[in-house]
Structure 1
Amino acid sequence: MKTNKEITPWSWVSSLYFAEGLPYAAVTLVSLVFYQQMGLSDAETTFYTSWFYLPWVVKPLWSPFLDLIKTKRWWVLAMQMLLGAAFAGVAFTINTSYWLQGTICFFWLLTFTSATHDVGADGFYMLGLTEQQQAYFVGIRSTFYRISLIIGKGGLVALAGFLQAYMKVQLSWSLVFYGLAGLFIGLSVYHKLVLPNVERKAEHKSLSVSYLFSEFVSTFVSFFKKKQILMAIAFMLLFRLPEALLNPIGPLFLRADISKGGLALSLESFGLVNGIVGVVGLLGGGILGGLAASRDGLRKWLWPMTLAITLPNLAYVYLGFAMPKSIFLISLAVFIENAGYGFGFSAYMLFMLYFSQGEHKTSHYALCTGFMALSMMLPGLFAGALAEALGYKVFFVLVMVSCLFPFLIAKKVKIE
């Protein structure tokens, strides 16, 4: 067994953040496509899958207490093993008579496990590396997280489509999820060998429950006493409203039959368009947004980023009315929408950082991420029902109407 000094961060940083991103992609996108293929309506699909955001909403409430139970290294290893078990549970129940109840239960287990794994992984990154190493590896960690999103949103869906040429829909998805189960069990075993033991055995119990609870209450109360708290919450809930409506419906529209107003993309084409082209656009826009804001600040870029997060939604209005068959045109539209969102989302992230400044800034930022998840969860609960009632074309027009909210909230919020 290697000592901590002999273990290089190169052996675990990339795989750790790959393991962090893949379950998120599986829960937020792959589940949408899976339930649509299994015959659920858009209303049912978006309602069930939007609830999967809940663990990320409430994660700030339980994350401070994890260290009282076990070390961050233990949480990483245990959650990866549990993720493997949860993926296996999804795979097993697909071919049963209770497939809907079973898969939803195991997806719920996936979401809570993934959210807990996020806490352990991010905490371990800070403990396992020096400040200099943290700065050096931040690009590596981001790159592999993004690679996991591309593989999750593109590769897994395309793999299911490839398998369906040789077998039934249910069996193809079972094999995909069994593959994920094996991957995460393997990652847990691998990380047990390579993650350094940087935490002392008693370190995670050095703080009492009463002290942590007192600190948590103090942090929670101070957050809601911050200046302009109501305006800040409104910003966090409404600035992404158009994207929150579009996010669950866009993939369903790309896959829906032409008779239902969709583009009827195959799973392989969908994986390319939404999972690769879309994610690359999202990441590219995010990088440009980060560079722009880091140079000139949020005050200068708030309005350009508000335009970027709203106007590119016209791409889906075009797709809904023109119904192009060209993969190039569809890919271009999806790329434009995702790139615009990625650029505009930088304003959202910067606002959370700005609002969290002061005492308890780390904990306040964690609470902001809860509102960030809530901003995606709430609109998603009824987005499918709206799309069914209005049709895709009118729904995309409604998304453009909802763009008024980001403009109104950007006008009201004060950036000092």
Structure 2
Amino acid sequence: MNHTKTEPSVRRSPLTWVPTVYFAMGLPFIIVNMVSTLMFRGLGIDDARIALWTSLIILPWSLKPIWSPLMEMFRTKKFWVVTTQLVSGLALAMVALSLSLPNFFPYAIALMAVVAFSGSTHDIATDGVYITELSKTQQAQFIGWQGAFYNIAKVFAMGGLVYVAGALKERVGVVEAWMIVMALCGALLFLLGLYHLRMLPSGGEATAHAGSVGEAMRETAEVFRSFFVKKYIWIYIAFIVFYRFAEGLVIKIVPLFLNAPVADQGLGLTEQQIGLYYGTFGVIAFVVGSILGGYFIAWIKLRRALLPLIFIFNIPFVVYALLAWFQPASSVLICGGIVFEYFSYGFGFVGLTLFIMQQVAPGRHKMAHYAFGSSLANLGVMLPGMVSGWLCERVGGYHYFFLWSLLATLPIFLIAWRIPFSYPDTEEERADEEAVDKELLND
């Protein structure tokens, strides 16, 4: 039996830890999945290798259900959050050191795979703290903050850090510039780990279901079984995978498209321009979109909000198709497209998060089943991302690639049109929903 001692409970406002812990959740994923594409491009790696390997190493975010049940049995959720933040910080510092090696690419990829495993483990525990520590009302109240700061990490990394890399490149050289940026990322995550060591609530005591390895394996098998027998689960799996499918197809190509010369069907932006557009106007648009998306769901409820959210989430892919086809030289138009993307992304992203939380996760194993749902969402990004570079080359470049990517938006509209709900999402029926949860816990 696990004898992990529960920490003394000090009730702090969620605003003291929700924004920072979800920023810390987003940073490793964005660095591994997006910032690394520009870094490796600047260091001379070809697009096909970049797209393949940076897609492959995010696999832990899709495989995390395998070890998420074990995390429920041992130590507190806070322990896993703090530990993984410290590990990710140290691994990114080692990535910085590896860039000076002659054959740096395999070493950098291997270290980023460590960041990916640590970061995906961090995600499981962070969501567990959120679900355990906050009531249903608070979950809805802070979902906008959660989504905003997770994706502020994206804007911070793709905006601020890329801008810094571009500025430093002119002074110290491209290798040294990216070494400094990776070291700064590692230091920031390490400091966040120290902050959360003090400020983060425990997320509850570890469960005591497993007294031996055999019991742990049986409990893990039960967690998996109970997930796949949930009502409408296969429809929900398809919904989760295809919600971000088009995003997964374009997410690695967009920064390459923005950075590529105009003669190569790109927009010819420098790293500094990309960083400025993402890191200033983009971050404002995203925060506004996320908060408005949360209020929009609270206003008309999730069931009625889903289709509008999906529509708004997918509009930016039309914008990138237009930018790729007409290749405008106007910085106002290009920046406007990026701002529109971030507003729409922020507005629509919260819908998927709340759907997984309220329709997929409820039951005895909330943390593990939420991890299952979020890993499926990452799988929907990873799979198309792995072939995006190959597809871009096969269809003749960015012009036609973004047109093809519009087809990837069709499945989610077809699934969401008549998707059933297992649990009510109205205030009047909330008491009934909690009664159902209690019955599941007693099963």
TM superposition score category, shorter chain reference = 0.7 to 0.9
**Distance of 2:229 and 2:202 partners within structure 1:** 37
Other-structure match for 2:97:
92
Task: Determine helix, strand or coil for the equivalent of 2:251.
Answer: helix
Moved more, 16-25 or 389-398: 16-25
What amino acid is the match of 1:90? V
Other-structure match for 1:316:
320
**Distance of 1:358 and 1:140 partners within structure 2:** 21
Residues 235-274 of structure 1 mapped to structure 2, 5 A cutoff: 235-274=239-278
**Distance of 2:201 and 2:297 partners within structure 1:** 38
Other-structure match for 2:348:
344
Asked if the contact 2:148/2:346 (under 8 Å) is kept, the reply is no
- Cα shift at 1:163: 0.4
Other-structure match for 1:34:
39
Task: Determine helix, strand or coil for the equivalent of 1:263.
Answer: coil
**Unpaired runs of at least 5, structure 2:** 1-6, 423-443
Other-structure match for 1:233:
237
Asked if the contact 1:286/1:343 (under 8 Å) is kept, the reply is yes
Task: Determine helix, strand or coil for the equivalent of 2:100.
Answer: coil
- Cα shift at 1:152: 1.8
Q: 1:403 to 1:146 in 2, by over 3 A?
A: closer
- Is residue 79 from structure 1 mapped to residue 84 from structure 2 by the alignment? yes
Q: 1:412 to 1:160 in 2, by over 3 A?
A: same
- Cα shift at 1:20: 2.8
**Distance of 2:149 and 2:268 partners within structure 1:** 31
Task: Determine helix, strand or coil for the equivalent of 2:59.
Answer: helix
**Distance of 1:140 and 1:235 partners within structure 2:** 24
Other-structure match for 1:393:
399
Deviations 1:232-266 (A, max 9, x none): 22222223322221211111101112221111111
Q: 1:288 to 1:384 in 2, by over 3 A?
A: same
Match for 1:48 among 44, 48, 53?
53
Other-structure match for 1:105:
110
**Distance of 1:88 and 1:97 partners within structure 2:** 18
- Is residue 158 from structure 1 mapped to residue 160 from structure 2 by the alignment? no
- Cα shift at 1:142: 5.8
- Cα shift at 1:8: 6.0
Deviations 1:171-210 (A, max 9, x none): 1101111222333334444555x3479699xx54743244
Asked if the contact 1:251/1:274 (under 8 Å) is kept, the reply is no
**Distance of 1:112 and 1:303 partners within structure 2:** 33
Asked if the contact 2:77/2:202 (under 8 Å) is kept, the reply is no
- Cα shift at 1:376: 0.2
The normalised TM-score by structure 1 is 0.86
Q: 1:140 to 1:256 in 2, by over 3 A?
A: same
The root-mean-square deviation of aligned C-alpha atoms, in Å, is 3.2
Moved more, 101-110 or 357-366: 357-366
Q: 1:184 to 1:233 in 2, by over 3 A?
A: closer
The normalised TM-score by structure 2 is 0.81
**Distance of 1:357 and 1:189 partners within structure 2:** 30
**Distance of 1:227 and 1:401 partners within structure 2:** 29
- Is residue 329 from structure 1 mapped to residue 333 from structure 2 by the alignment? yes
Q: 1:132 to 1:286 in 2, by over 3 A?
A: closer
- Is residue 25 from structure 1 mapped to residue 27 from structure 2 by the alignment? no
- Cα shift at 1:82: 1.5
Moved more, 318-327 or 147-156: 147-156
Other-structure match for 1:207:
209
Q: 1:139 to 1:294 in 2, by over 3 A?
A: closer
- Cα shift at 1:130: 7.7
**Distance of 2:129 and 2:99 partners within structure 1:** 35
- Cα shift at 1:138: 7.1
Aligned residue pairs: how many?
Answer: 410
